[in-house]
C-alpha cells in the first residue's frame, strides 16, 4: 500500500466494513482525508464488499417498504443544505470540522490538549494535541490503544518520524516519548483509550496531575 506510517491493514479493513469503534473511525477518517493513497485502498476494499453483497441471496422487504420510500421522496424538497462547520479550526481535515471542540488545556512543557466532542466508546475518546517546537511529551506507555494522526508539523519517537498525514498506532506494549522536530507546533488528532501511563518514579509522582 505505502511505506509511510499508515493505519494497519486490519484497522483499515474494520473501517471499510464499518466495524471500527467510533472514536478510532474519526481518527482514521482524518488520515484518509489527508492521504489519497490510503483512501484509494479503502475505497477498493469497500467496492469488493459491495460485490460480495451483490452475490448474497436477496432478503424480502416488508410489505410497506415501497410506500414508505415514496413518502420520503414526496417529502424531500430537493434542496441541498451544506452543514456549517461546528468548530473554529479551519486547518483541520474536513471530517474533524463536523465536531464541536472543548477549550485548550495546558499540560505544561509546551503541551496543550483539546477535547473533540465526537462519539465515545467506553473510555475511548478523541482529542487534539498541540506541542510546541522542540518540546516532548513525558515518556509514557498506555492503558489501552492510542491512534494518532499528524495534522501539521512533525514529531519523532525513538524509532520513527511522523509528518502531516502520518499515522501511529500504540498500545500497552509501546513505550515512547514523542518529540516535535518541526519548526512549527505539531498538531495531532488522537483516539485515546484510558489514560497514558508515565514512566519512571518522576512519572508516577506527577501522574495524578497529567490527564488527557
- C-alpha grid cell, residue 108: 505544561
pLDDT for the residue numbered 207: 44
pLDDT for the residue numbered 161: 96
pLDDT for the residue numbered 195: 67
Between the CA of residue 2 and those of 9, 121, 155, 210, what are the distances in Å? Answer: 11, 29, 19, 35
pLDDT for the residue numbered 149: 98
What is the residue-wise DSSP string for 67-135?
HHHHHHHHH------PPPPSSS-TTS-GGGGGS-B---EEEETTEEEEEEEEEEETTEEEEEEEE-TT-
Measured at the CA of 197, the angle between CA 3 and CA 32, to 5 degrees, comes to 30
Could you report the per-residue pLDDT of 121-150, keeping only the tens digit for each?
998 999 999 999 999 987 877 778 899 999
Parallel/antiparallel/unpaired status of strands 105-108 and 111-121? antiparallel
What is the residue-wise DSSP string for 134-198?
T-BPPPEEESS-EEEEEEESEEE-SS-EEETT-EEEE-TT--B--EE-SSS-EEEEEEEES-EEE
Please report which helix (H) or strand (E) contains residue 38, including its range.
helix 36-55
Paired residues of 130 in beta bridges: 112, 187
Could you report the per-residue pLDDT of 45-55, keeping only the tens digit for each?
777 644 444 44
pLDDT for the residue numbered 61: 60
Beta carbons within 10 angstroms of residue 50's beta carbon: 9
pLDDT for the residue numbered 126: 96
Contact 110, 130 (CB under 8 A): no
Taking the chain (212 residues) in runs of 10, the rounded mean pLDDT of each run is 84 92 96 92 71 51 61 55 79 95 91 94 93 89 88 95 96 87 97 72 46 56
Q: Residue 4: helix, strand or coil by DSSP?
A: coil
- C-alpha grid cell, residue 46: 469497500
Amino acid at each position: 500500500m505505502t511505506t509511510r506510517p499508515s493505519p494497519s491493514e486490519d484497522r483499515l479493513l474494520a473501517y471499510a466494513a464499518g466495524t471500527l469503534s467510533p472514536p478510532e473511525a474519526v481518527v482514521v477518517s482524518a488520515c484518509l482525508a489527508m492521504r489519497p493513497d490510503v483512501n484509494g485502498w479503502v475505497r477498493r476494499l469497500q467496492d469488493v464488499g459491495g460485490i460480495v453483497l451483490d452475490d448474497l441471496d436477496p432478503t424480502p422487504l416488508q410489505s410497506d417498504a415501497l410506500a414508505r420510500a415514496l413518502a420520503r421522496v414526496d417529502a424531500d424538497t430537493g434542496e441541498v443544505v451544506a452543514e456549517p462547520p461546528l468548530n473554529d479550526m479551519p486547518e483541520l481535515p474536513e471530517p474533524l470540522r463536523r465536531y464541536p471542540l472543548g477549550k485548550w488545556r495546558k499540560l505544561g512543557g509546551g503541551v496543550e490538549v483539546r477535547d473533540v466532542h465526537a462519539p465515545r466508546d467506553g473510555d475511548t475518546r478523541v482529542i487534539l494535541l498541540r506541542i510546541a517546537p522542540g518540546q516532548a511529551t513525558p515518556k509514557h506507555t498506555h492503558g489501552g490503544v492510542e491512534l494518532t494522526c499528524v495534522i501539521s508539523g512533525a514529531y519523532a519517537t525513538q524509532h520513527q518520524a511522523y509528518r502531516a498525514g502520518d499515522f501511529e498506532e500504540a498500545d500497552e506494549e509501546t513505550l515512547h516519548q514523542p518529540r516535535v522536530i518541526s519548526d512549527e507546533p505539531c498538531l495531532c488528532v488522537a483516539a485515546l483509550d484510558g489514560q497514558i501511563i508515565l514512566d519512571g518514579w518522576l512519572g508516577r509522582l506527577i501522574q495524578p496531575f497529567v490527564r488527557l
